[in-house]
Amino acid sequence: MTAHTLQDLTAGLSSDRRNTVVGLVTALVDKGFIKDVTEDRPHTLTAEEERAYAPEIAFIDYWRDSAAHRFQLFRDSSILAIGAGDTLTALVRANLFSGLKRVHVMTTDECPMGDGWSTQLAVSARQRDPRQSQRGWVWCAVVDGGVGVQAGRGAGPGRAAA
């Protein structure tokens, strides 16, 4: 994208037309219809990522500057979701579909998760974004009112590794 200043764009206009254009552009900026993006911070999102997450980036852009940069910071962060059942599944799905590259999941024994739930989420998410991964699928159990990890990565008792 080539950036041009307002002065560059109005250089060939008469004084009256230049003043009209400057007034219109100023009004559009003041009302939030256009904005100066020359000060936006750089990002390294690919064109493919920008296309896939255009709605998320547009939402950020409505509220803040440097939307692609801010989305990249979010996308490159990593979370650990702990829980079980439909709530955990919804949380993991929401994080994947909002653009996080890495979601770590720890399941607890309060609610059976069923077979293949993590694999189904991973396949579904990768259809939109092949760069995503769900690392460290672990399981744990509630021990004396607290969460105690019983195993590292992979399969737990009665669970298949994802």
- pLDDT tens, 36-76? 666 778 888 888 888 988 999 989 888 878 888 999 999 98
Q: Report the pLDDT averaged over residues 71-99.
A: 86
**Residue 34: predicted pLDDT:** 76
Q: Report the pLDDT averaged over residues 90-118.
A: 78
d(CA 75, CA 106): 20
For the chain, counts of helices (H) and of strands (E): 7, 4
Query: Of the given ranges (35-44, 122-131, 150-159), which has the lowest mean pLDDT?
Result: 150-159
Contacting residues for 115 by C-beta, under 8 A, at least 6 apart: 160
**Residue 97: predicted pLDDT:** 85
Mean pLDDT of the chain: 75
Q: Hey, which residues does 64 pair with through a beta bridge?
A: none
Dihedral pair phi/psi, residue 78, rounded to 5°: -130, 140
Q: Report in angstroms the alpha-carbon separations of 47 from 31, 41, 53.
A: 29, 17, 10
Cα within 13 Å of Cα(32), Cβ side? 5
The per-residue pLDDT for range 9-43, each reduced to its tens digit, is 899 999 999 999 999 988 988 887 877 666 778 88
Contact 162/123 with Cβ under 8 angstroms? no
d(CA 112, CA 89): 11
Centre a 10 Å sphere on the Cβ of residue 54 and count the other Cβ atoms it contains: 11
Q: What is the DSSP letter of 21?
A: H
